[in-house]
């Protein structure tokens, strides 16, 4: 793990660092404060990446994709720190979606499903942000719950981290042809060949996020007893396996949402939603009210089984009482045909009497 380069209270350029928010393979992110008191988030690169050209691409892509949208975390500026670039973002006071779902952010095995109304709001915000980027020819390529921030006061969801963005108008990306993205959220085409990626890859990835919000688990994950390499196994499932319907894991999920998720997670991109607007329209069609409780009807035997004299228990069971006489199932079975024939003859006789009178 890279050594922490900074300490709370350090002054970096125009910013004073307050606390480290997190760290990953590419660098660390700090909460900072400008001279006017406004909070910002600053992403610093790890020193060992200094001479790696692909990281320079990463930073340039992140900084140049300054999309101004209410549901996109805005890049404010980029500046140099000891020969490495640092990126300043608008600071979102709140959690990311991953920590909202999983109690232990280091374990993506089992989380808790979110409320349907909350899910609808997050979907509305993020699909709006993605649609804004897609209309400008940009594919995010790393849509995941960790890159969705939730503003604490407003509940608004914001999309962050455009470091792997691809401009489909010129097929320009971070290191052309290099696989980008996070394995649990990758579309099949992202795994096979990054050059075939388009906006529908983001729709697939957000379908994975939607599945997470509905069930508290990823649709494709390593199950107990599976011993293959985790990355290989999950990639294989993305390409060939069908996800369990969310309603099988969470009975509060309407079946209509199963179909929406399944369409977003289609293996063939031509079968998915063609745009985020289409995806959002489908989500707007379902009710946030929980489905009615499923009434489990008793498993009645059919008439042949009910009146079968071959079952001594059933045959001897009392069926009804008339005066002092109790009739068993076997007796009713024996006399029922004659009773029906007699009733039919009586009805026919009455009809003939009325007709010829």
pLDDT band at 308 (very low <50, low <70, confident <90, very high): very low
Three-state secondary structure readout of 261-314: HHHHCCCCHHHCCCCHHHHHHHHHCCCCCCCCCCCCCCCCCCHHHHCCCCCHHH
Q: How many residues does the chain have?
A: 357
- Per-residue b/e over 214-243, b at no fewer than 16 CB within 10 Å? bbbbbbbebeeeeeeeeeebbbebbeeeeb
What's the rounded Cα separation, in Å, for the pair 171 and 166?
Answer: 7
pTM for this predicted structure: 0.75
Q: What is the pLDDT of residue 307?
A: 41
Query: Mean pLDDT across the chain, nearest whole number?
Result: 82
Q: What is the pLDDT of residue 131?
A: 97
pLDDT surpassing 90 at residue 254: yes
Q: What is the pLDDT of residue 176?
A: 42
Degrees to nearest 5, angle at CA 160 with 154 and 161:
165
Lookup: tokens for 66:
């300054």
What's the rounded Cα separation, in Å, for the pair 221 and 146?
Answer: 17
11-90 falls under which CATH superfamily?
Phosphorylase Kinase; domain 1 (3.30.200.20)
pLDDT band at 346 (very low <50, low <70, confident <90, very high): confident
Task: Determine the average pLDDT of the residues in 25-31.
Answer: 83
pLDDT surpassing 80 at residue 289: no
* Predicted confidence (pLDDT) per residue in 92-119, tens digit: 999 999 999 997 656 656 899 999 999 9
What's the rounded Cα separation, in Å, for the pair 95 and 256?
Answer: 29
CB 287 within 8 A of CB 301: no
Question: Count of CB atoms within 10 A of residue 32's CB?
Answer: 25
Q: What is the pLDDT of residue 110?
A: 81
Angle subtended by helix axes 276-284 and 199-215, to nearest 10: 30
pLDDT surpassing 60 at residue 301: no
Dihedral sign for Cα atoms in the order 150, 156, 160, 165: positive
Residues acting as catalytic residues: 142
- CATH code of the domain occupying 94-284: 1.10.510.10
- Please tell me the number of Cα atoms within 13 Å of 205 on its side-chain side: 31
Q: In this predicted model, which residue has the larger pLDDT, 175 or 13?
A: 13
The domain ranges of the chain are 11-90, 94-284, 305-348
Q: One fold for both 11-90 and 94-284?
A: no
Which three-class secondary structure state does DSSP give residue 211? Answer: helix
Q: In this predicted model, which residue has the larger pLDDT, 52 or 92?
A: 92
Q: What is the pLDDT of residue 341?
A: 83
Q: Residue 42: in which H helix or E strand, if any?
A: strand 39-45
């Amino acid at each position: 793990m890279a050594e922490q380069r900074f300490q709370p209270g350090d002054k970096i350029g125009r910013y004073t660092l307050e606390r480290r928010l997190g760290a990953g393979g590419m660098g660390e992110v700090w909460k900072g404060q400008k001279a006017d008191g406004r909070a910002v988030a600053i992403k610093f690169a790890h020193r060992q990446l200094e001479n790696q050209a692909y990281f320079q691409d990463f930073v340039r892509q992140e900084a140049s994709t300054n999309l101004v949208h209410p549901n996109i975390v805005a890049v404010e500026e980029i500046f140099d720190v000891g020969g490495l670039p640092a990126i300043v973002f608008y600071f979102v006071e709140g959690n990311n979606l991953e920590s909202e779902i999983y109690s232990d952010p280091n374990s993506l095995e089992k989380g808790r499903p979110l409320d349907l109304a909350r899910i609808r709001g997050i979907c509305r915000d993020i699909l709006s942000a993605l649609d804004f980027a897609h209309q400008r020819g940009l594919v995010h390529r790393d849509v995941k719950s960790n890159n969705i921030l939730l503003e604490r006061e407003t509940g608004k969801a914001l999309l962050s981290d455009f470091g792997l963005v691809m401009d489909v108008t010129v097929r320009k990306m971070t290191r052309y042809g290099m696989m980008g993205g996070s394995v649990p959220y990758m579309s099949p085409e992202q795994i096979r060949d990054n050059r075939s990626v388009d906006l529908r890859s983001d729709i697939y990835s957000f379908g994975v996020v939607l599945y997470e919000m509905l069930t508290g688990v990823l649709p494709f994950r390593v199950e107990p007893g599976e011993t293959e390499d985790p990355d290989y196994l999950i990639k294989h499932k993305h390409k060939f396996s069908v996800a369990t319907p969310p309603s099988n894991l969470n009975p509060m999920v309407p079946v209509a949402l199963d179909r929406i998720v399944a369409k977003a997670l289609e293996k063939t991109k031509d079968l998915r939603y063609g745009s985020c607007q289409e995806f959002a329209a489908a989500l707007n069609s379902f009710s946030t009210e929980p489905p009615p409780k499923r009434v489990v009807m008793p498993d009645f035997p059919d008439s042949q089984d009910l009146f079968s004299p071959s079952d001594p228990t059933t045959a001897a069971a009392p069926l009804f009482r008339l005066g002092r006489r109790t009739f068993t199932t076997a007796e009713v079975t024996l006399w029922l045909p004659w009773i029906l024939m007699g009733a039919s003859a009586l009805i026919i006789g009455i009809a003939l009497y009325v007709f010829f009178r």
